[in-house]
Amino acid sequence: MGMTMTQKILAAHAGSELVKAGQLIQADLDLVVGNDITTPIAIKEFSKIGVDKVFDRGKVAIVPDHFAPNKDIKAAEQCKMIREFSREKEIKNYFEVGEMGIEHVLIPEKGLVVSGDVVIGADSHTCTYGALGAFATGVGSTDMAAGMATGKCWFKVPAALKFVLNGRPSEFVSGKDVILFIIGMIGVDGARYKSMEFVGEGLLHLSMDSRFTIANMAVEAGGKNGIFLVDEKTLEYVKSHSMKPCKVFEPDEDTVYDEIYEIDLSYIRPTVAFPHSPENAKPIDEVGDIQIDQAVIGSCTNGRMEDLRMAARILKGKRVGKDVRLIIIPGTQSIYLKALEEGLIRTFIQAGAVVSTPTCGPCLGGHMGVLAKGERAVSTTNRNFVGRMGHPESEVYLASPAVTAASAVTGRITDPEEISD
């Protein structure tokens, strides 16, 4: 019986010809990732194992991004701990403030993942790298420690859901709308323990940035991983960012999937996930009148060039609503610089938005835009559970950069078409 893309990658890394869903395997790792809130626990657990070195200094990446630049003394201590560990173990891919970015935007940019890789990260949105045709999944700190020590990780081989994407998304519809639509359709456990495999001619109309967004939120449907079929766009990205050799795995013709979904991208509307779940998705036409206090454009979900360009397009020549705080966070230094060169930062500031150095910040209610009781935000981030962005009695609506930017102007959740020129 045929294997999925995910199964083929896992088989190759487990030294097997064939793997089946449900089978337990141990796979060799190409990369182990951690951040400033998950690596401290990993360091403590690593020290208990009793090995002196990490398995491969070039295959561990540590990025302070959640509460960095240091949000308070405790966060500073955590960042110090991971810095010292990285120094001591001579970790090649430790990114200090000044070079760091949001990990899941930074790591593909730095060419640390290529098609065919197996990656674990102590962060649930590690699944982002599936856009490159890699197997990438989130794990906890103990698995990160074990991975750093041994270079291996155990997995239960997942079955898969296939998403055949056809058609062309309309002007203001992007990856975020596609994935919110999907999570709304299948629920926050619709892909539990499964791979979400994305194929179809619609891929021609999805940029790499949109694909990163879609793969990023596979975990929000319960997915073990999200993965895109590798095409010219993928290879162009990989080859222009990385020297690492890559391998392309295509699904077999006779592969059996648990479910196959055919999705016409041209039918997808700008989509908004209402509090307090990413599955609470509605098309913009059914949103009604939702007044907002804050808008956030950034995060590992939507902090890339395409996202900032779309936001600038909507905001150019306009002003952020008087009672709205618009916070824009480029995902990496390189993106920030490019946005500066393209005049996007000027557009943002002239519109009345604020622009921050790369950080996860408000996405998890950490810093750089926390919500008070009763406040409401629309955000390009990835979760809106109770208390996610601040007070337990605040609300977060998830949306695309286009919707978020448009909403910042009007002060209520808005269809970008309504205000675009």
Q: By CB under 8 A, name the binding residues for other proteins.
A: 24, 37-38, 40-41, 44-45, 48-51, 66-67, 71-72, 74-75, 78, 121-124, 126, 138-143, 145-146, 149-150, 154, 188-189, 192-193, 219, 222, 224, 277, 364-366, 370, 383, 385-388, 392
Residue 334 tokens read as 């390189």
Q: How far is the CB of 144 from other proteins (least distance, A)?
A: 9
Q: How far is the CB of 249 from other proteins (least distance, A)?
A: 22
> What residues contact 402, with CB distance under 8 A and at least 6 apart?
172, 173, 174, 270, 310, 311, 314, 416
Report the DSSP pairing between strands 93-94 and 60-63.
parallel
Question: b or e along 27-53 (b: 16 or more beta carbons within 10 Å of the residue's beta carbon)?
Answer: bebbbbbbbbbbbbbbbebbeeeeeee
Which is closer to other proteins, CB of 127 or CB of 409? 127
Shortest distance in whole angstroms from residue 162 CB to other proteins: 19
- The C-alpha angle with vertex 253 and arms to 249 and 254, in degrees rounded to 5, equals 120
CA–CA separation, 6 and 81 (whole Å): 35
Give the helix/strand (H/E) hosting 307: helix 305-315
Distance in angstroms (rounded) separating the CA atoms of residues 202 and 164: 8
- Give 383-420 as a DSSP string: ---TTTTBSTT-EEEE--HHHHHHHHHHSB---HHHH-
Closest to other proteins by CB, 305 vs 327, is: 327
How far is residue 118's CA from residue 176's CA, in Å, rounded to a whole number?
A: 25
Smaller CB separation from other proteins, 146 or 206: 146
The whole-angstrom separation of Cα 43 and Cα 54 is 11
For residue 102, the 8-state DSSP code is -
Closest to other proteins by CB, 154 vs 267, is 154
Query: Please, are residues 36 and 75 in contact by the beta-carbon 8 Å criterion?
Result: yes
Residue number with CB closer to other proteins (72 or 88): 72
Minimum Å distance from CB 237 to other proteins? Answer: 25
Residue 193 or 267 having the CB closest to other proteins? 193
- Alpha-helix runs per DSSP H in 100-174: 103-109, 141-150
Minimum distance between the CB of residue 50 and other proteins, rounded to whole angstroms? 6
Q: Smallest distance from the beta carbon of 411 to other proteins, in angstroms?
A: 27
Q: Which is nearer to other proteins, 89 or 388 (CB)?
A: 388
Quote the least distance from Cβ 412 to other proteins, whole Å: 25
Min dist. Cβ of residue 90 to other proteins (A): 22
Q: Which is nearer to other proteins, 45 or 293 (CB)?
A: 45
